[in-house]
Each structure stands twice: as C-alpha cells, then as structure tokens.
Structure 1
Amino acid sequence: MNEEDLLHRARAIRLAIFDVDGVLTDGKLYFLVDGSEFKTFNTLDGHGIKMLINSGVRTAIISGRETPVVERRARNLGIQHLYQGREDKLAVLDELLGQLGLNHAQVAYLGDDLPDLPVIRRVGLGMAVASADGFVREHAHGVTRARGGEGAAREFCELILRAQGNLDAAQAAYL
C-alpha cells in the first residue's frame, strides 16, 4: 500500500493500539538473577505517543505478556487502556471497541508477530514494524521504516498526526 493510501486510512483513526515486545521494545527479554525482568523503551516513541494523545487520539496497549514495567510505562505516557496477559488480542479489540463505541475502521494497530496479525488485518490501519515477522509484514497495510523499539512507534504516531493535520501544530509547540 502506498503512503497516500496509508494517510487516507489514518484520517479516520480515533484509537491507536500498540503491542509491546518487538514494537515498543527491541523484542529482547531481559531477566535478572532474582527473576525480575526489565525492558528498554525508546524516548522518541514515548513522545510520539504523548503527541498523539494530546491530539485527541485514544491509546491502548495489548500484550500477551504481563509485567509491572509495562504498567509503569503506560502510566508514565498517559496511555488510557492497558491489557496485559491477553493472548487473544482480537477479543480484547472487540471488548475495547464496545467500551469506546468505535468501529474497526477507527482503529490503528502496530504489531510485529503472528499473534498481532488478526488485529492488524481487522482494523482500519494495521501496520507492522520493520523488524516484524515476514508473514506479518506481508499482510499489514504498511510497514514502518524503523525497527521495533527504535522509533517505529514514533513513525506510526506521526503518520496518524500528519494524516489528521495535527503534526505541524504538535511540532510547532516546541519552537
């Protein structure tokens, strides 16, 4: 799909959903000796999410894994809806749409692996990060230039902001 088609789809977006491992992170899992886990997040991605929220787009995380660090990151960024430990992401999507009164065309999703694919194929704008599984990239509406955890979420957010005419204003606030 070309950039113009992606921008057309992005104009309708009212909810942006992110996977975590491989999307907001580099996909690596770090375990300490005591069994605790840590993840590294990209600050550029985080600020992109904040700009998207400030423009009026709602945000959510749906992750198959559950970890306190993701809850903390979501809270720090102001992400309104957090679902962890949920393997059936399509069921979560439908639950969330029912709560918010939105339809599939109003949702964008950024993922990287097979469990994300049912949602990517169902929503109005389903994208994969550059480092995503090849089959997922093949079936997504678009693929970011950046890899997961390396600016892909920022790119995704800026696409939506640009399509909705809000990117210039979001950036101008810092001039």
Structure 2
Amino acid sequence: MQPDLLQRARDVRLAIFDVDGVLTDGRLYFLEDGSEFKTFNTLDGHGIKMLIASGVRTAIISGRKTPVVERRASNLGIQHLYQGREDKLVVLDDLLAELGLEYRQVAYLGDDLPDLPVIRRVGLGMAVASADGFVRANAHGVTRARGGEGAAREFCELIMQAQGTLENARSAYL
C-alpha cells in the first residue's frame, strides 16, 4: 500500500461512490419495456457496510437516475444519495456544508471524466482500475480491481486500514 494513500485516508469522514463503472461494471442493461437493471458485487456491498460500521459516512453521487440504485443504497445503509446530478462538485459542496466537513475529510471513487473535478478536489480521490486513462492519471491512486469487481471493497478497506479499524471489523467474523 502506498504510504501517501494511507496518509490521505486517515482523516476521511465521508466516502463517496459513483455508480456506473464503480459499483457496477459500467454496462447498462435495458429490457424491452424500457426498464433497466444493474449488477452489483456483494464484496463491494459488504465493504461499504463495514466502512459505515467503522464510523465513516457514505454517499453516492451519480449522473444517472434509476430506482435500482435507490434500492441498493437503502439496502447498504448509504446515508446520502444524489442521482441525476451531472455537476458532482456542486453536490459535494452542498453535502460538505450540510455535514460541516472539509475537502480533506472526503474520499471519492470514480471512473470517468464527470468524476474528475471531485477526485482532484478531495483529500483522497481514487479511480478504479477500469477507469478512463486520463482519470487514472489524475487520481491520487488507482484500485487493483475493476469497477463492479471489488474496487469499492478495496477502497473501503484502504480507508479502514489507515484508520486502524480493518482488523477489528474482520476479527468480528472469527
């Protein structure tokens, strides 16, 4: 683990996730009736639950709007959900004002150009391995896992490792 990433993760109080390409593999599935579905990784979901239990707040900011994301966020206990929001930096600023947090206390995991302004502004801005190359090059770090394949779990565990809560969360299962 890069020492710089661990240092950046120590002060994180809010972790924010994009959806398509981060919590999913980025593919969009549309049925004939116009409805859509997404597939999510259970390892990512449990990582988010562990992160919440460790005291870190969570949020989703997505440019698309779909009921399945609302259901997934609710199932995981994600406290803040913003969908259909293209300007993610505006959402971030509003959320920080509401929570009384600073940029350095935020971690963000994204994959594409609309995520880049937030990635560059927060204390820990990361990209998934399958992210756009320009986004990867401008992030503080890149996960080993691809979006929808454990990248969010890796991100959550990095934060928990830096804050000294990961081993305790794991030992609860022994």
TM-score range (shorter-chain normalised) is: over 0.9
TM-score (norm 2): 1.00
**Residue number in structure 2 paired with 1:108:** 107
- Partner amino acid, structure 2, of 1:35: G
Q: Distance in 2 between matches of 1:102 and 1:68?
A: 28
Task: Give aligned pairs, total.
Answer: 174
Alpha-carbon RMSD across the aligned residues, in angstroms, is 0.5
Q: Distance in 2 between matches of 1:92 and 1:84?
A: 10
- Partner amino acid, structure 1, of 2:137: E
Q: Distance in 2 between matches of 1:110 and 1:129?
A: 7
Offset of residue 3 of structure 1? 0.8
1:141 aligns with 2:143: no
Deviations 1:45-93 (A, max 9, x none): 0000000000000000000000000000000000000000000000000
Aligned residue for 2:107, secondary structure, equals strand
Aligned residue for 1:108, secondary structure, equals strand
**Residue number in structure 1 paired with 2:38:** 39
Deviations 1:14-55 (A, max 9, x none): 000000000000000000000000000000000000000000
Q: Distance in 1 between matches of 2:141 and 2:11?
A: 16
**Unpaired runs of at least 5, structure 2:** none
Q: Distance in 1 between matches of 2:30 and 2:44?
A: 23
**Residue number in structure 2 paired with 1:121:** 120
- Written as runs of structure 1 = structure 2, the 5 A alignment for 1:49-68 is 49-68=48-67
1:48 aligns with 2:47: yes
- Partner amino acid, structure 1, of 2:159: I
Aligned residue for 2:146, secondary structure, equals coil
- Partner amino acid, structure 2, of 1:66: K
**Residue number in structure 1 paired with 2:164:** 165
Aligned residue for 2:15, secondary structure, equals strand
- Partner amino acid, structure 2, of 1:21: D
